[in-house]
Amino acid sequence: QKPNNPFDDSSRREGMVKSALNPSPAKTWQLLYWPAQDATTGNFFAGAGRAEYLRVIFEEAGVEYEEVSEGIKDYFWTRLDLQPFPVLAPPAIRKGDFVLCQTPVCAKHLAMEFKMYPFNLEDASHADQIVTTVHEYIAEGRMAFHPVKNTMSYHDQTEEAKPYIKAFKLERLPRYMTHFERYLKANKTGSGFFIGASLTHVDLQVMVMLQVTNCQFPDAWEGLDIPILKSFLGRMEARPKIRNYLDSDRKQSFAGDSLM
Ligand X SMILES: N[C@@H](CCC(=O)N[C@@H](CS)C(=O)NCC(=O)O)C(=O)O
Q: At its nearest, how many Å lie between ligand X and the CB of residue 255?
A: 10
**Does residue 50 interact with ligand X by CB under 6 A?**
yes
**Does residue 135 interact with ligand X by CB under 6 A?**
yes
Q: At its nearest, how many Å lie between ligand X and the CB of residue 72?
A: 8
Q: At its nearest, how many Å lie between ligand X and the CB of residue 73?
A: 9
Return the residues of window 143-172 that contact ligand X according to CB under 6 A: none
Q: At its nearest, how many Å lie between ligand X and the CB of residue 71?
A: 14
User: DSSP letter at 25?
Assistant: P
Q: Residue 191 and residue 28: Cα distance in Å, rounded?
A: 33
Q: Is the separation of the CB atoms in 136 and 102 below 8 Å?
A: no
Q: Which is nearer to ligand X, 91 or 196 (CB)?
A: 91
User: DSSP letter at 194?
Assistant: S
Q: Residue 88 and residue 205: Cα distance in Å, rounded?
A: 21
Query: Which residue type is seen at 124?
Result: A
**Residues in Cβ contact with 182 at an 8 Å cutoff, skipping those fewer than 6 apart:** none
Q: Which is nearer to ligand X, 91 or 118 (CB)?
A: 91
Q: Which is nearer to ligand X, 137 or 232 (CB)?
A: 137
Return the residues of window 72-91 that contact ligand X according to CB under 6 A: 89-91
Q: Residue 94 and residue 83: Cα distance in Å, rounded?
A: 10
Q: At its nearest, how many Å lie between ligand X and the CB of residue 61?
A: 20
Q: Residue 215 and residue 200: Cα distance in Å, rounded?
A: 24
Q: Residue 217 and residue 45: Cα distance in Å, rounded?
A: 20
Return the residues of window 95-124 that contact ligand X according to CB under 6 A: 101-103
Q: Residue 93 and residue 66: Cα distance in Å, rounded?
A: 10
195-224 mask for ligand X (x: CB under 6 A)?
------------------------------
Q: CA nearest 21: which of 87, 66, 75?
A: 75
> Which of 49, 71, 118, 141 touches ligand X (CB under 6 A)?
49
Q: At its nearest, how many Å lie between ligand X and the CB of residue 192?
A: 27
**Does residue 5 interact with ligand X by CB under 6 A?**
no
Q: Which is nearer to ligand X, 138 or 184 (CB)?
A: 138
Query: Which residue type is seen at 237?
Result: E
Torsion over CA: 259, 173, 214, 52 (sign): negative
Total binding residues toward ligand X, as defined by CB under 6 A? 10
Interface residues with ligand X (CB under 6 A) are 49-50, 89-91, 101-103, 135, 260
